[in-house]
Amino acid sequence: MKRLFLLATAASAIATAAGAAERTKFDFWYGLTGDLGEVVAKHCQLFNESQDKYEAVCTGQGGYDKAEQNTIAAYRAKQQPTIVQIYDAGTVNFMLSGAIYPANKFTEEHKLDIDWKGYFPGIANYYATSGGDMWSFPYNSSTAVFYWNKDAWAKINKTSAPQTWAELGEDLKAMKAAGVECGFAFDFDTWMNLEQFSATNNLPVASMDNGYGGLGAELVFNKTAFVDHMKDFKSWLDAGYAKIQTTQVGKNLVQSFADGSCASTITSIANHGTVKNTQVAGLNWDVAMLPVIDTTKRTNSLVGGASLWLMQGKTDKEYEAAAAFLKYVTAADTGEKYIAENTGYIPVTTKGFDLLKQEGFYSDPKHTGREVAIASLTASDVGPLSRGIRLGNFTSIRAEVRAELEAAFTGQKGMQMAIDAAVERGNQILRRYEQTYKGAALP
């Protein structure tokens, strides 16, 4: 009997091993790094543990830029992953690549029950074609918000965050007089300074509805209120109301706010958890929607983060496995809830948001304020200038803008001259991109 038991146990172990070996594997590449990258890796692990038919082989690429570059190179070598996480700035490049399997087509052919209308419009419109078709799956989404220290504002007898940029300027002046050494921390990031400012104030970054109208778009932000906005930042810097905070000159925005050094900053809602986990004891803070020029004309902010793209050229089995994975990671309970609970990212659908509200997520002191991001993304109906930015090689354009803003804020150039230079070089990038895809139309 003992020998039979051992034989049965051995047979069971062999069968289990054989079953594990027969799992259909597929590659998923992701761009997030650090703590956020670990959350994605854990998400993969949870999916793999949830069933025994498929296995996601998940590999971090060391950053969003590298994820995009590596995927393009891998596709040319016919070694592409089945799914890749690509950030917002890479949307146009992937739409025109000819290398992707559109999400709406994939869901139809693989019987995935995805309610595309359930995605928040401010999120869906960034990743959708001009006709409204979704070509990727929104995964980790964020927007920019205003982080503020309540105790610093209490020194000037105020109990609410400033709603306009002019009001913030007056508050910073008053706080400086009250002994606050750094009222506002900022850096040269274009997503917060240019893109979010333009969207929330309904200003164009580029012609042709920020590029949605075609590849012939040109940058125009050197002719909008953005220039005066950056001049205001420079005046705050020169007056000692604000400080530039980057890792090159000390610490980043999140650190400078969490340790109490600076009374406010603008950064992603995705950093909410980081502030909460790293703050100095007793820091009394909250988040609010970004200030705007005129509160009566506020429009929705832009989504940040990334979406999941399917690549062409994989086997039917790999796509079958990918469908199971996408069903798991986009579901309200196993997807959106997991991301929200373990990061500062927000739910991407109304169903996910409602689930978190029902479970008391936003009433938990650890998460207080995160719903502000949803309010910001839904502050208005999505319009031609607040649905997103659809420009080719946008990562390179961002780099040009960042470099010129740094030159202006460090006194190497005047603000208008610097922004004009960024527009000129950015337009050169756009013309090269247009030539590369000559005759192509944006989907």
The secondary structure of 252-294 as a DSSP string is -HHHHHHTTSSSEEEEEGGGHHHHHHHPPTT--EEEEPPPBS-
- What is the spatial distance between Cα 336 and Cα 353, in angstroms, rounded to a whole number? 8
Residues 173-216 pLDDT 10s: 999 999 999 999 999 999 999 999 999 999 999 999 999 999 99
- What is the spatial distance between Cα 360 and Cα 197, in angstroms, rounded to a whole number? 32
At 370, list the tokens.
């995160």
Q: Is the pLDDT of residue 12 over 70?
A: no
Top CATH class of 22-142+304-366 equals alpha beta
Q: Is the pLDDT of residue 10 over 70?
A: no
Residue 43: which of 361, 322, 338 has the closest Cα? Answer: 338
Report whether 265 contacts 253 (CB < 8 A): yes
- What is the spatial distance between Cα 136 and Cα 421, in angstroms, rounded to a whole number? 34
- What is the spatial distance between Cα 53 and Cα 291, in angstroms, rounded to a whole number? 50
Confidence of residue 21 (pLDDT cuts 50, 70, 90): low
Per-residue HEC secondary structure of 319-334 comes to: HHHHHHHHHHHHCHHH
Residues 126-144 pLDDT 10s: 999 988 999 999 999 999 9
Confidence of residue 249 (pLDDT cuts 50, 70, 90): confident
How is the beta sheet containing 242-244 ordered, strand by strand? 242-244, 184-186, 264-268, 144-149, 285-288
Q: Distance between the two ends of the chain, CA-based, in angstroms?
A: 68
Residues 210-242 pLDDT 10s: 999 999 999 999 999 999 999 999 999 999 999
Residues 395-428 pLDDT 10s: 999 999 999 999 999 999 999 999 999 999 999 9
What is the identity of the amino acid at 8? A
* DSSP code at position 90: G
Residue intervals of the chain classified under CATH 3.40.190.10 are 22-142+304-366, 144-301+393-436
pLDDT recorded at residue 251: 87
pLDDT recorded at residue 16: 43
Distances (CA, A) of 281 to 277, 285, 297, 393: 10, 11, 38, 43
Question: Tokens 């296995």 — which residue?
Answer: 55
Q: Is the pLDDT of residue 19 over 70?
A: no
Query: Is the sign of the CA dihedral 43, 44, 47, 48 positive or negative?
Result: negative
The answer as to CATH 3.90.1300.10 being correct for domain 144-301+393-436 is no
Distances (CA, A) of 107 to 46, 94, 117, 126, 381: 22, 18, 14, 19, 27
Distances (CA, A) of 242 to 187, 194, 269, 322: 10, 18, 21, 48
Report whether 157 contacts 170 (CB < 8 A): no
Confidence of residue 24 (pLDDT cuts 50, 70, 90): very high
pLDDT recorded at residue 303: 95
Percent of the chain with pLDDT over 90: 92
DSSP string, 300-318: PPPPEEEEEEEESS--HHH
Residues 329-342 pLDDT 10s: 999 999 999 999 99
- What is the spatial distance between Cα 358 and Cα 356, in angstroms, rounded to a whole number? 5
